[in-house]
């Protein structure tokens, strides 16, 4: 029998056509409460900016709200895009979250801005916003506000308050092999974006596991810990799942064509005039999503995790109807458990 691979949730607060961004944020909180009841391990929120299709623009605010609205489920960032933030601010915010919700917070870190270059510049007001090349330096600075700087460092007098609280467990996120290399070198947990990353998840996980070196920080990992993020849509019948997947495909096609908009309904996707380019893009991206009944999806996502040796699975489900999104997670967990 297969060992139990924990299931978690990644939510982007998608804005459905006919609904508002405020609706999407409230639906994220409702989803967190529902998936906690179902037994999911973690609930992570994302960071994206200047996208009309998602409202995941303030992950720390959403984490605080979700954590206060739940009692058991771990709440995390998937992730904090480090180029958009000062390391001191991240250290302070996550120590505050850990103080208020001890043992329930995860800090996922990404090196991409999660947006276009103009928006990245507006976020940072600095040319540094346009590159992720200084990620190792930013990461080292983040840790130093907690662990302490060398005596001769200009920031040596600064520590992130509250100083009596540890930094939450750190996960390095990756959609390429770089994230695997960084997580291994830093001795952190690693989460691979299998819902859109072009690298082979098995190769990424192998690089991470073989290269992992414990950091020696208090409370840090002594052995590698990996998570695979996957896209999945489970429905009560195969046709409903296929209809929801078609709408999700249209949303991704529009995003890749730089025409993002509210998440379309299955009816809108059926009425859309699909060009050959649309169809080819949808076909290429279909490999990222597991669709079907609860049993089919549970079997499919477990196979993805076992193929690359992931210790955990994180599922993101984007469908137009928030009730069907919650139902998808319910069907998956019932079949999985």
DSSP state letters, 235-272: -SSHHHHHHHHHHHHHHHHHHHTT---SBPPHHHHHHS
Cα–Cα distance list, 217 to 187, 210, 214, 243 (Å): 9, 20, 8, 48
- Cα–Cα distance, 124 to 118 (Å, whole number): 10
Query: Tokens 């064509």 — which residue?
Result: 257
- Which residues on neighbouring strands pair with residue 81, listed in sequence order? 110
- Cα–Cα distance, 174 to 54 (Å, whole number): 20
Average pLDDT, the chain: 93
Looking at residues 126-135, what average pLDDT do you find?
Answer: 63
- Cα–Cα distance, 63 to 45 (Å, whole number): 7
Name the token pair of 80.
């904090």
Q: Given pLDDT bands bounded at 50, 70 and 90, which one contains residue 172?
A: very high
Write out the E strands in the chain.
7-11, 42-45, 74-81, 105-110, 170-174, 189-193, 226-234, 289-292, 312-316
pTM more than 0.75: yes
pLDDT tens digits, 66-120: 999 999 999 999 999 998 899 999 999 999 999 999 999 999 999 887 788 888 8
- Cα–Cα distance, 43 to 117 (Å, whole number): 28
Model pLDDT, residue 2: 45
Share of the chain above pLDDT 70, in %: 97
Name the token pair of 106.
């995860």
Q: Given pLDDT bands bounded at 50, 70 and 90, which one contains residue 197?
A: confident
Beta strand 7-11 with 312-316: parallel, antiparallel or unpaired?
Answer: parallel
pLDDT tens digits, 279-319: 999 888 888 999 999 999 999 999 999 999 999 999 999 99
Q: CA triplet 217, 219, 222: central angle to 5 degrees?
A: 80
Model pLDDT, residue 157: 97
Looking at residues 2-12, what average pLDDT do you find?
Answer: 87
Q: Given pLDDT bands bounded at 50, 70 and 90, which one contains residue 171?
A: very high
Share of the chain above pLDDT 90, in %: 82
Q: Given pLDDT bands bounded at 50, 70 and 90, which one contains residue 128?
A: low
Phi then psi for residue 250, to 5 deg, are -65, -40
The answer, yes or no, to whether residue 1 has pLDDT greater than 70, is: no
pLDDT tens digits, 232-250: 999 999 999 999 999 999 9
Name the token pair of 264.
């379309």
pLDDT tens digits, 258-270: 888 899 999 999 9
Phi then psi for residue 247, to 5 deg, are -65, -40
pLDDT tens digits, 10-36: 999 999 999 999 999 999 999 999 999
Per DSSP, the three-state class of 225 is coil
Model pLDDT, residue 259: 87
The answer, yes or no, to whether residue 129 has pLDDT greater than 50, is: no
CB 52 within 8 A of CB 262: yes
Looking at residues 171-190, what average pLDDT do you find?
Answer: 96
The answer, yes or no, to whether residue 131 has pLDDT greater than 60, is: no
């Amino acid at each position: 029998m297969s060992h139990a691979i924990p299931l978690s949730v990644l939510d982007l607060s998608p804005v459905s056509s006919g609904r508002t961004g405020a609706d999407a944020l409230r639906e994220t909180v409702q989803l967190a409460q529902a998936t906690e009841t179902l037994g999911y391990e973690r609930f992570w929120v994302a960071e994206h900016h200047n996208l009309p299709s998602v409202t995941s623009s303030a992950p720390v605010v959403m984490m605080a709200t979700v954590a206060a609205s739940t009692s058991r489920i771990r709440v995390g960032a998937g992730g904090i895009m480090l180029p958009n933030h000062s390391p001191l601010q991240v250290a302070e915010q996550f120590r505050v979250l850990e103080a208020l919700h001890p043992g329930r917070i995860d800090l996922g870190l990404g090196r991409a801005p999660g947006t276009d270059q103009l928006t990245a510049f507006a976020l940072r007001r600095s040319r540094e916003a346009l590159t992720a090349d200084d990620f190792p330096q930013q990461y080292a600075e983040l840790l130093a506000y907690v662990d302490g700087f060398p005596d001769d460092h200009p920031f040596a007098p600064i520590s992130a308050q509250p100083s009596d609280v540890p930094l939450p467990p750190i996960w390095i996120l990756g959609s390429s092999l770089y994230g695997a290399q960084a997580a291994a070198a830093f001795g952190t947990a690693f989460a691979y974006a299998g819902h859109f990353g072009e690298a082979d998840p098995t190769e990424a996980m192998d690089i991470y596991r073989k290269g992992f070196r414990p950091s020696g920080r208090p409370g840090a990992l002594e052995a590698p810990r990996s998570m695979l993020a996957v896209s999945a849509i489970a429905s009560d019948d195969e046709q409903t799942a296929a209809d929801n997947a078609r709408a999700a495909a249209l949303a991704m096609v529009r995003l890749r064509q730089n025409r993002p908009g509210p998440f379309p309904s299955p009816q809108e996707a059926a009425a859309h005039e699909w060009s050959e380019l649309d169809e080819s893009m949808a076909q290429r991206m279909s490999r990222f999503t597991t669709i079907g009944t609860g049993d089919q999806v549970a079997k499919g996502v477990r196979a993805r995790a076992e193929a690359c040796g992931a210790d955990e699975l994180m599922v993101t489900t984007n469908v137009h109807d928030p009730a069907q999104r919650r139902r998808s997670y319910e069907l998956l967990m019932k079949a999985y458990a």
